[in-house]
Amino acid sequence: MATLTVPATVPSVTEDCEQLRKAFSGWGTNEGLIIAILGHRNAEQRKLIRETYAETYGEDLLRALDKELSNDFERVVLVWTLDPAERDAFLANEATKRWTSSNQVLMEIACTRSANQLLHARQAYHTRYKKSLEEDVAHHTTGDFRKLLLPLVCSYRYEGDEVNMTLAKSEAKLLHEKISNKAYNDDDLIRVLATRSKAQINATLNHYKNEYGNDINKDLKADPKDEFLALLRATVKCLVRPERYFEKVLRLAINRRGTDEGALTRVVTTRAEVDLKIIADEYQRRNSVPLDRAIAKDTHGDYEKMLLALAGHVEA
């Protein structure tokens, strides 16, 4: 369930553009007006606003926002305003250029999008960067990380509910054998995670637990400090329980000393139109604190207001 709230009666796109132009005019920027408009429009509406703004004023709305805003508030507004496929392309490209948590971001995009969403992100990557996502992933990753990430970003999974229980049983056995032998980078182990439908993987992992007594992720914790094993565990979680994966990303982003604004912004902007309500419910269940209260405690100013708007927070 999404958390984004859109007014029952939405102003015309022309009026939205005029109001945004007004927000940029005069002394200082009217950040509240920007939040009131962009923080309450869906992807299709934001796309129309960008197109109409460019036609009317001869300037890309993103460029206008970039000139007027700064810091974390600027980033959340810019990332949110992008079309979802363009946003994924931007986040993936950014991830290929840095070391910290970049592998996780690439895996997250590959494993939590539908087959068509991932395909559209790869197409947007072509358009925006004049090269392919897979060539950048191959160039910027090495070893086991490349071996896992490349097939993940190239995947086009079947999305039906059909499950082959014979296959689930045989592949559960295969996974158990590979993990027992610590062959974590085995071609067949990666093939199962990178190509099977999410329904098929779920059936395989249920059989794994029933047959061998542990969740697969428990068996993948042989070395808690091993970064590749951590990425494998996150991959499994993204494929079968994405709300638990995103809850953990938010928990680590908010509860550490010093907020990880990058992770917080990424999760809120990419999930607000998808399943942020489910993630927020999981967050409250796990932490006994509502997500919007945790965000408000850890952020401030216009950045806080924009995040809360996207998270569906309503002032009492």
**Whether domain 84-153 has CATH 1.10.220.10:** yes
Res 100: pLDDT: 54
Q: Distance between CA 44 and CA 313 in Å, rounded?
A: 22
Res 99: pLDDT: 62
Residue 243 marked in a binding site: no
Rounded percentage of the chain residues whose pLDDT exceeds 90: 93
What is the rounded average pLDDT for all residues in the chain? 96
The domain segmentation of the chain, as residue ranges, is 13-69, 84-153, 165-240, 242-310
CA distances from 156 to 42, 72, 110, 230 (A): 26, 34, 10, 24
Classify domain 13-69 at the CATH superfamily level.
Answer: Annexin (1.10.220.10)
**Residue pLDDT, tens place only, 282-312:** 999 999 999 999 999 999 999 999 999 999 9
Residue 262 marked in a binding site: no
Nearest Cα residue to 196 out of 163, 223, 149, 232 = 163
Residue 24 marked in a binding site: yes
Residue 246 marked in a binding site: no
Residue 26 marked in a binding site: yes
Residue 69 — pLDDT band, cuts 50, 70, 90? very high
78 has pLDDT over 90: yes
Q: Distance between CA 297 and CA 159 in Å, rounded?
A: 39
Res 213: pLDDT: 96
Residue 86 marked in a binding site: no
Residue 28 marked in a binding site: yes
| Residue 202 CB neighbours (<10 A) | 16
**Residue pLDDT, tens place only, 209-247:** 999 999 999 999 988 889 999 999 999 999 999 999 999
Burial of 159 (0-12, 13-18, 19+ CB in 10 A): exposed
Res 289: pLDDT: 96
**Residue pLDDT, tens place only, 258-289:** 889 999 999 999 999 999 999 999 999 999 99
47 has pLDDT over 70: yes
| Residue 241 CB neighbours (<10 A) | 15
Here the tokens at position 125 are 């990557």
How would you write the chain as a 3-class SS string? CCCCCCCCCCCCHHHHHHHHHHHHCCCCCCHHHHHHHHCCCCHHHHHHHHHHHHHHHCCCHHHHHHHHCCHHHHHHHHHHHCCHHHHHHHHHHHHHCCCCCHHHHHHHHHHHCCHHHHHHHHHHHHHHHCCCHHHHHHHHCCHHHHHHHHHHHCCCCCCCCCCCHHHHHHHHHHHHHHHHCCCCCCHHHHHHHHHCCHHHHHHHHHHHHHHHCCCHHHHCCCCCCCHHHHHHHHHHHHHHCHHHHHHHHHHHHHHCCCCCHHHHHHHHHHHCCCCHHHHHHHHHHHHCCCHHHHHHHHCCHHHHHHHHHHCCCCCC
Res 314: pLDDT: 72
Q: Which CATH architecture has domain 165-240?
A: Orthogonal Bundle (1.10)
Global pTM value: 0.96
Residue 146 marked in a binding site: no
41 has pLDDT over 80: yes
Res 26: pLDDT: 77
**Overall average pLDDT of the 128-140 stretch:** 96
**Residue pLDDT, tens place only, 87-116:** 999 999 999 987 655 899 999 999 999 999
Provide the CATH number for the domain formed by 242-310 in this structure: 1.10.220.10
Residue 9 marked in a binding site: no
**Residue pLDDT, tens place only, 143-182:** 999 999 999 999 999 999 999 999 999 999 999 999 999 9
